[in-house]
Amino acid sequence: MFTPIPRVQVPGVAAKGEIFQVKALISHQMETGLRRDPQGEAIPRKIIHKFACRYNNVVVFDVDLHEAIAANPYIEFYLRATESGRLEFIWEEDGGQTYALTHQLTVG
Amino acid sequence: MVEKTKTASFTRRNVLAAAAAAAGAGFAGRGPVPPVDAGDSDDDVAIVKQLTGKIPAKSDRIHLAMPRSFPNGYTVPLSLDIDSPMTEADHVRHVRVFAPRNPLIEVARFHFVPRRSEPRVSTRIRLAEPQYVLAAAEMNDGALLMTKTWVEVATNGCA
């Protein structure tokens, strides 16, 4: 097993009203629960089942992920720059573990 | 240990059986139902209706871009884009993606917020075999817009 590493690519500065791109990636096996180990035992499901982006504590985009999302889930999405503040990215794994990153955005 | 999220899994078999049962009730007394071609759109509409509880309308406001053929089923690129002003009065609530020929049909659901996020996303998905991938966008007025695209994969991404 390895530790999932979350990464995001977000601009540091945006004009007010501008739509900017966010690229979010987390290294994760996304074990579907459909596979069996060499002894024939089912390998339990362990996926990232939720991703959310908060902008100054308001959820502005979120995703429910199912088993058919590829390993190392990559999500590219678009937000509108409304005010300077903190962007928070949260990944939730089966079993309750979460991974998070924050990013400071300046809107001028 | 059973995850709560697991109970929401839909398989093609369950969904089609339920859809057929529902359709059969409507056809009772009208004789045998004519066979439909594989990949017929009625099948897609039935699946989406079964999973969302709404009757989808084919729309050209929703764009689902995927490669027509891809060498492996493990990481197939997917891009979605819905034409919407994203105002309080007219916006996309969420869009769901289904792969009916995967062992588990549901792929993802993306939620958007009016004036804050655009109904445009890209990701990478697994596909078990060549199939139509379906996307259904629920608008703020409750309308369900649907589109589909054919994707040919050479290897099973779900094994």
- Domain-located, residue B159: no
- Domain-located, residue B125: yes
Mean of pLDDT values over B124-139:
97
CA-based nearest distance B143→chain A, Å: 20
The tens digit of pLDDT for each residue in A58-107 reads 999 999 999 999 999 999 999 999 999 999 999 999 999 999 999 999 99
pLDDT on residue B79: 98
- Domain-located, residue B115: yes
- Domain-located, residue B148: yes
Name which of B107, B122, B157 is nearest A66 (Cβ-Cβ). Answer: B107
Using alpha carbons only, what angle is made at residue B151 by residues B146 and B156, rounded to the nearest 5 degrees? 125
Domain count within chain B: 1
Cα–Cα distance for residue pair B128/A31, rounded to 1 Å: 15
pLDDT on residue B52: 94
Query: What ipTM was assigned to the predicted interfaces of this complex?
Result: 0.95
B151 pLDDT tier (thresholds 50, 70, 90)? very high
B137: pLDDT strictly greater than 60: yes
Beta-carbon separation of B113 and A59 below 8 A: yes
- In this complex, is the C-beta atom of B9 within 8 Å of any C-beta atom belonging to chain A? yes
Closest to B45 in 3D by CA, of B34, B59, B33, B55: B55
The tens digit of pLDDT for each residue in B68-106 reads 999 999 999 999 999 999 999 999 999 999 999 999 999
Buried b (16+ CB within 10 A) or exposed e, B38-64: eeeeebbbbbbbbbeeeebeebebbeb
Beta-carbon separation of A75 and B121 below 8 A: yes
Across chain A, what does the average pLDDT equal? 96
Domains (ranges, CATH) in chain A? Answer: 6-107 (2.60.40.10)
Contact list in A for residue B104 (CB cut-off 8 A) is 32, 34, 66-68
Beta-carbon separation of A79 and B118 below 8 A: yes
B41 pLDDT tier (thresholds 50, 70, 90)? low
pLDDT on residue B11: 77
Closest to B126 in 3D by CA, of A100, A35, A51, A5: A35
Which H or E run contains B115? none
- Domain-located, residue B158: no
- In this complex, is the C-beta atom of B134 within 8 Å of any C-beta atom belonging to chain A? no
B126: pLDDT strictly greater than 60: yes
Encoded tokens for A67? 């088993």
B5: pLDDT strictly greater than 80: no
pLDDT on residue B60: 95
| Residues spanned by the domain of B22 | 4-153
- In this complex, is the C-beta atom of B4 within 8 Å of any C-beta atom belonging to chain A? no
Nearest residue on chain A to B102, alpha-carbon basis? A68
Residue B87: count of CB within 10 angstroms of its CB: 10
Cα–Cα distance for residue pair A79/A10, rounded to 1 Å: 10
The tens digit of pLDDT for each residue in B20-37 reads 665 544 444 333 433 444
Mean of pLDDT values over B44-68:
95
Beta-carbon separation of A63 and B1 below 8 A: no
- In this complex, is the C-beta atom of B111 within 8 Å of any C-beta atom belonging to chain A? yes
pLDDT on residue B19: 63
CATH number of domain containing B146: 2.60.40.2470
Nearest residue on chain A to B108, alpha-carbon basis? A65
pLDDT on residue A59: 98
Closest to B107 in 3D by CA, of B84, B86, B132: B132
- Domain-located, residue B144: yes
Contact list in B for residue A95 (CB cut-off 8 A) is 3
Count CB pairs under 8 A between chains A and B: 106
Cα–Cα distance for residue pair A31/B76, rounded to 1 Å: 17
Cα–Cα distance for residue pair B62/B145, rounded to 1 Å: 7
